[in-house]
Chain A
Amino acid sequence: MDAIHLEYDVDGKNFVSAGSATESVKAQLKGLGINPADVRRVAIAMYEGEINMVIHANGGKAMVDIFMDKVIVKLIDTGKGIPDIEQAMKPGFSTADEDVRNLGFGAGMGLPNMKKYADECIIESEVGKGTTVTLITNFS
């Protein structure tokens, strides 16, 4: 299987459509016959990332490369950036406002969940410029 490259624009103003890029990737992986537990790990990590882009960064781009043995998901935004990544990784730490919490997110579990489900979670961020999250999930 050659690598499959997918690209999505994540609309930062639309909470209703948030998660649709992940939905599409999940369907693709399922269609390729990837082990359901791996598909779920990829989907949860990417979904949390996609939600983060909508609630914190006004959207961005999702680039996904599917290889025979792994998936690499890159989530790129030009939002406000993360001043202290170590702090942001702590379960329960959140800068989300009440509106976001009322929607069921912003509990400070997004980044910890991404780290938990992906085999590698690399966060590069510059305040005022944006954040790129790379999620690598190896197939079992």
Chain B
Amino acid sequence: MKINEIADILEGTFLTGAEFGEKEVFSACGSDMMSDVLAYVKDQAVLLTGLCNPQVVRTAEMMDMVCIVFIRGKKPPKEVIDLAEKKGIALISSPRRMFSACGLLYSNGLKPGN
């Protein structure tokens, strides 16, 4: 699935990294607990979260993730967006809630990873 398709399916808008929209991603995970994200390395490329602090971007970076989706219409502060821009990570804000957002991506073919 392309990052652009994720944005479309979740009715999301890019906060940064729209230029990476054509990048293909194959798996995702959803969590507000960064240590849980760090505990299960599976080559996931997308992180869905309701957290908006800089450690979300750092966690994604450590995991080599390429896209973060902020659910429930959340928009992180500018410093977080700047950090993601520096790291080359796409940020999307979606009005969907966690359960729906994960369900929509899953049913459209995005999987939890191996």
Contacts and interface: CB of A to CB of B under 8 A. Distances in A.
A16 B49 CA distance: 18
Contact of B38 (A15, A36, A113): A113
B87 to A, nearest CB: 8
B63 interface: yes
A112 interface: yes
Given A40-B41, A44-B63, A15 B35 contact: no
A104 B62 contact: no
Contacts of A48: 35, 38
A44 B58 contact: no
**Of B41, B49, B53, B62, which is in contact with the most chain A CB atoms at under 10 Å from its CB?**
B62
A105 B34 contact: yes
Contacts of B55: 15, 18-19, 51, 103-105
Interface in B22-76: 32-36, 38-39, 41, 49, 51, 53-56, 58-59, 61-64
Contacts of A26: 61-62
Dominant secondary structure at the B interface = helix
Which applies to chain A's interface (DSSP): helix, strand, loop or mixed? helix
Nearest to B53: A103
Nearest to A112: B39
B46 to A, nearest CB: 16
Nearest to A104: B34
Contacts of A16: 53-54, 79
B49 to A, nearest CB: 8
Contacts of B59: 47, 104
Contact of A104 (B33, B61, B63, B64): B33
Nearest to A54: B55
9 contacts: A40-B63, A44-B62, A47-B62, A103-B51, A105-B33, A105-B34, A107-B35, A112-B39, A113-B39
Q: Across chains A and B, which 8 residue pairs bring their CB atoms closest together, nearest first?
A: A109-B35, A104-B34, A19-B58, A43-B62, A107-B35, A104-B51, A107-B33, A47-B62
Given A104-B55, A107-B35, A109-B33, 18 more contacts: A15-B53, A19-B55, A19-B62, A22-B62, A23-B58, A26-B61, A36-B64, A40-B41, A44-B38, A47-B58, A103-B51, A104-B32, A105-B34, A109-B35, A109-B36, A110-B35, A112-B39, A113-B38
